[in-house]
């Protein structure tokens, strides 16, 4: 026998809730979980926020704010499949994290058929870069920054050439993904990654909003208004029957 | 696992041992979830164990969400 809970579907999960409770719940979801769906006549969009560290195969200690890939990946499947959702707004403010998890999320977003727009606020560093370019169109806030630097074990001297080769291969996956999904060339991106003199004790580059656009990683400088306008524009285009 | 982050490794992995409590697997609203017990008969959802993509969009199952023992009593079925 089906349990009653099993029959409840998303969208009318708690029909007995009063309007104020519903509002309270929405606010709580927004504050604590950073996840919300917005609907209006122009289309329903889902907002997914990528914050803090991207958590990979190891659960990070509790003082880290994390984005859990095992939760985000099925969400992306649901967003792609749900016919009530027309588009996805990806809001990034991340310091980086696990390479595999970050690339997994980025590849999922890049292969979605629904309109997707990303907006970088604050920072989209390290593995946040491939996630930022994975959407169909990307925005960066004028004050936001992106740090592009090589993958390596911090503070450790690379002992054997094989270790270097391994890290180089890992890095190549990031470089390839970024150049495939944005307007920057492989060579240009690699040169930004290995640039000296920008970071205090490291190689790499810090790009401000405008610079990220100029070198072709991000499509445009903008904020929430521009990002939403672009997303609705893409939704509108996708709704038109194919000529 | 390779971390590609601007935050130094020792900052990320500081207090690694500081995880109190054992995770519990329970059934809640017809889905299996993993929770961390907090004080005051409350549980914090640490992950959802489901194969239904829609369940992942349900705000009730978001990691970090806190559920109380009262919610659980209605659906209580401790698996581990």
For residue B34, pLDDT over 80 is answered with yes
Q: Is B70 an interface residue toward A (CB < 8 Å)? A: no
Alpha-carbon span B11 to A98, nearest angstrom: 15
The per-residue pLDDT for A27 is 60
Answer yes or no: is A233 within a domain. yes
Q: What is the enclosing helix (H) or strand (E) of A211?
A: helix A209-214
The per-residue pLDDT for A10 is 44
Question: For residue A231, what are the domain limits?
Answer: 42-147+205-239
Which one of B5, B29, B47 has the shortest CB-CB distance to A96?
B5
Alpha-carbon span A41 to A236, nearest angstrom: 11
Taking the domains of chain B in order of start, what are their residue ranges?
20-75
Answer yes or no: is A25 within a domain. no
Half-sphere exposure of A243 (CA within 13 A, CB side): 1
Enter the pTM of the model. Answer: 0.79
Angle CA B21–B24–B30, to nearest 5: 150
CATH code where residue A125 lies:
3.90.226.10
Residues 59-118 of A with CB under 8 A from B: 59-64, 68, 70-71, 74-75, 77-79, 81-82, 95-100, 102
The per-residue pLDDT for B22 is 80
Answer yes or no: is A167 within a domain. no
Domain count, chain A: 1
Q: What is the ipTM of this complex?
A: 0.78
pLDDT along chain A (243 residues), means of 10: 42 49 60 61 87 87 85 93 91 92 94 95 92 95 92 60 79 92 92 80 85 94 95 91 64
């Amino acid at each position: 026998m089906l349990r009653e809970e099993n029959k409840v579907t998303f969208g009318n999960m708690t029909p007995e809730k009063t309007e104020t409770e519903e509002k309270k719940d929405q606010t709580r979801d927004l504050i604590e979980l950073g996840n919300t769906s917005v609907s209006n006549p122009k289309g329903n969009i889902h907002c997914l926020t990528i914050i803090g560290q991207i958590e990979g195969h190891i659960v990070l200690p509790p003082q880290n704010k994390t984005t859990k890939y095992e939760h985000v990946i099925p969400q992306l499947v649901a967003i792609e499949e749900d016919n009530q959702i027309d588009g996805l707004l990806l809001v990034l403010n991340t310091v980086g994290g696990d390479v595999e998890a970050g690339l997994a999320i980025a590849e999922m977003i890049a292969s979605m058929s629904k309109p997707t727009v990303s907006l970088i606020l604050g920072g989209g560093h390290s593995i946040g870069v491939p996630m930022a370019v994975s959407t169909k169109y990307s925005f960066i806030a004028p004050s936001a920054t992106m740090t592009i630097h090589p993958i390596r074990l911090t503070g450790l001297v690379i002992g054997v050439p094989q270790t270097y080769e391994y890290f180089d291969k890992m890095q190549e996956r990031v470089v390839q993904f970024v150049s495939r999904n944005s307007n920057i060339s492989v060579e240009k991106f690699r040169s930004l990654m290995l640039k000296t003199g920008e970071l205090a004790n490291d190689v790499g580059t810090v790009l401000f909003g405008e610079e990220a656009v100029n070198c072709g990683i991000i499509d445009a400088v903008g904020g929430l208004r521009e990002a939403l306008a672009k997303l609705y524009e893409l939704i509108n285009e996708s709704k038109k029957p194919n000529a | 696992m390779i971390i590609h982050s601007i935050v130094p490794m020792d900052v990320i992995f500081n207090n690694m041992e500081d995880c109190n409590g054992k995770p519990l697997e329970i059934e809640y609203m017809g889905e299996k979830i993993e929770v961390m017990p907090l004080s005051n008969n409350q549980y914090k959802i640490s992950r959802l164990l489901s194969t239904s993509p829609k369940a992942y969009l349900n705000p009730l199952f978001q990691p970090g969400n806190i559920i109380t023992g009262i919610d659980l009593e209605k659906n209580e079925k401790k698996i581990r």
